[in-house]
Structure 1
């Protein structure tokens, strides 16, 4: 196994996914859930993220070429999706009990594009592109597994924070998470615009 590649891929994915930074967003999106469902959401989001990243690691370049998708389009789409979620958190619509729930937040936006976002997908694809040995592929696989294990543990035990914050604290945390999510979304869209301009002008 290529331990140097393992360490580099692990550190890159940890920095991009930022498990501690996910905690306020995770708690805000799952604030209406009980402990059992919140833990299930943590597992579902991590499993989806793992599946998406592994899929793109194996056939990502082929998918991009077949659909004629460029990286800036992926970044922009992820940014727009996150911005919509951020606006709901900031305006309090996600807390409205009369609002009909039609989607699973564990899958979107937690699983993707927060965890398995453009940054993580591209970083994994570049790591795979840079190696042609079995040891290298094993190192990348080990890094992906290790990162998702850490993410799951962080989200799984973040429920302890709920007991400390109480409902009023969770409401404040929801607004802060919305602001952070909006900033991430705008950054993704800005990066997409810069990359488009750089590649086409």
Structure 2
């Protein structure tokens, strides 16, 4: 394993590499479990290992999207701008539950509280809307990558945010126009954004933005895009 791709990891990120992710096939059927480390090694990805993940897009009631800049200690895409919160459900009974995507939504609630510091009394499972699934494969560097079926989850609520600096380098709320400008700057090499932020914005968020008060018409729970 390349030490160059490991030296930037802090103790928290190193510990998190031992968490057990949910291994799936391309149809999002559970077939086992594997460490987060192995799920994100390019060597494993090229052998076909796929895991389950999620991305949360958190809007306030002014219809501004919370984006974050990932910590420089992240193992994939350090220092890149990304969506509000992205992570993985773990291989546990609570987060494996599939009815109404309850397990993934529980994982999202856990990470929103841990990563963004949202107080538990301000947010619940009911606030997290499962919109659609996206098949996603990308490479971060020579060692690390991502290969998952990701659940795109939406929250629209005014919340107190106090991010863990070990996870989040910076954050801001942006309008639709400001996000488009960020993506334009990234396309010119002036900023760094995660592939899933760009893909989610261009394929879904820009279409949803004018309808955030009621996104029910855009819910596609049975569809997996990108295959």
- When normalised by structure 2's length, the TM-score is 0.26
Q: Which has the larger radius of gyration?
A: 1
Q: Which has the higher contact order (CA 8 A, sep 6+)?
A: 1
Q: Which has the higher strand share?
A: 2
- When normalised by structure 1's length, the TM-score is 0.29
